[in-house]
């Protein structure tokens, strides 16, 4: 009987090669060539001056391309030490993959304030990471104004250990900051990331994420208890209270030691409310209230967003990506500029 395996393998390899060649001509999402995270490199950043392309879904929606700046962030300019600079810290809302960096909250805010503004935003960051990013940015840029954007579940996610990120852990009732270090990508990982077919399958099609969702028996089931065991529980009231105290005390110490000012920006609710019921109080709402009570300035963005439909502005979330549109970023930048412009050094 004829052995059909070699012809089958050859045909398969030819199909893979053809798919690779075709996809190399298309705007496949490339990622940002992320580096190591450890005590010396405390926050996740891309390779400086790396070219990137962002797109979503099988048909490359929201595609855009650019080059990371000298610190490995999405920005239309390089960052340099500047005591007058305003650093905007946050998660994927500040990273804003789907829009041109010039249209982001950070760069629009810089245009309104006529001052340097630096976006230090990383997808998946929590409040624990914001604290470390604020320390890093203050030391790296000598910046005295640090804006921290708060979005739903930022506090709860602070107790979840994640690769390359910081989290809060509790031992005998004492909160401390810990890091799950991330090694530099291996040679094999670099090789895979250079493949457009691999990036298309795992980044555009999100095969790994969809696979995990498909095998979860209950679609509303939360993450494994082993994954969420960074403290006494992400939604435990006692943990949230202790974590809030720890974080606010740490931000205050940063202000004192670096002669800086930390201002919290409270984002309005968004469509993926991380398990918050309609009309419920989010973890960051409580955190912002406590921050204001402790003397921090808090800029509430909900009023500006609520008034926008009345004035004819459109600030819906982007399809598929689920983050703010260009109009929403402009709206947020204007609200922040109005609130802080008279208090800048």
With vertex at residue 341, the alpha carbon angle to CA 340 and CA 345, rounded to the nearest 5 degrees, is 95
Burial status of residue 20 (CB atoms within 10 A of its CB: 0-12, 13-18, 19 or more): middle
**In the chain, what are the domains?**
83-191+201-343 (3.40.50.1110)
Of 251, 250, 230, nearest to 156 (Cα)?
A: 230
Sign of CA dihedral 300, 303, 308, 311: negative
What whole-number distance in Å separates Cα of residue 316 and Cα of residue 257? 40
pLDDT, residue 171, reads 84
Query: pLDDT truncated to tens, each residue of the chain (345 aa)?
Result: 567 778 888 888 999 999 999 999 999 999 999 999 999 999 999 999 999 999 999 999 999 999 999 999 999 999 999 999 999 999 999 999 999 999 999 999 999 999 999 999 999 999 999 999 999 999 999 999 999 999 999 999 999 999 999 999 988 878 999 999 999 988 888 888 899 999 999 999 988 665 444 444 343 344 443 333 333 446 678 888 999 999 999 999 999 999 999 999 999 986 554 455 555 688 999 999 999 999 999 999 999 988 877 666 666 788 788 899 999 999 999 999 999 998 887
pLDDT, residue 210, reads 52
Tokens of 241: 């209270």
Cα distances from 177 to residues 51, 109, 129, 147, 247, in angstroms, run 33, 31, 10, 21, 10
pLDDT, residue 280, reads 67
Tokens of 26: 């298309």
């Amino acid at each position: 009987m004829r052995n059909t395996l070699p012809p089958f393998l050859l045909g398969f390899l030819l199909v893979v090669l053809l798919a690779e060649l075709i996809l190399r001509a298309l705007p496949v999402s490339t990622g940002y060539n992320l580096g190591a995270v450890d005590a010396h490199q405390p926050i996740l950043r891309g390779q400086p001056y790396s070219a990137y392309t962002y797109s979503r879904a099988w048909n490359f929606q929201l595609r855009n391309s650019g080059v990371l700046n000298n610190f490995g962030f999405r920005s239309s300019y390089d960052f340099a030490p500047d005591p007058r600079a305003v650093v905007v810290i946050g998660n994927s809302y500040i990273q804003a993959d789907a829009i041109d960096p010039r249209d982001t909250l950070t760069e629009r805010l810089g245009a309104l304030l006529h001052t340097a503004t630096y976006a230090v935003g990383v997808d998946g960051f929590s409040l624990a990471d914001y604290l470390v990013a604020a320390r890093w940015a203050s030391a790296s840029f000598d910046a005295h104004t640090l804006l921290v954007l708060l979005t739903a579940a930022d506090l709860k996610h602070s107790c979840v250990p994640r690769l390359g990120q910081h989290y809060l852990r509790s031992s005998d009732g004492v909160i401390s900051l810990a890091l799950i270090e991330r090694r530099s990508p291996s040679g094999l990982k670099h090789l895979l990331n250079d493949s457009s077919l691999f990036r298309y399958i795992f980044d555009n099609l999100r095969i790994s994420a969809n696979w995990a969702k498909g095998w979860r028996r209950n679609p509303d089931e939360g993450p494994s208890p082993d994954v969420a065991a960074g403290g006494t529980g992400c939604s435990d009231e006692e943990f949230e209270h202790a974590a809030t105290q720890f974080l606010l005390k740490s931000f205050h110490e940063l202000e004192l030691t670096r002669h800086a000012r930390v201002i919290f920006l409270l984002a309005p609710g968004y469509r993926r409310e991380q398990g918050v019921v309609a009309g419920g109080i989010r973890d960051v709402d409580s955190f912002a209230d406590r921050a204001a009570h402790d003397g921090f300035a808090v800029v509430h963005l909900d009023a500006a967003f609520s008034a926008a439909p009345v004035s004819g502005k459109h600030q819906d979330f982007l399809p598929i990506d689920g983050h703010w549109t260009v109009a929403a970023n402009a709206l947020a930048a204007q609200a922040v500029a109005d609130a802080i412009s008279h208090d800048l050094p």
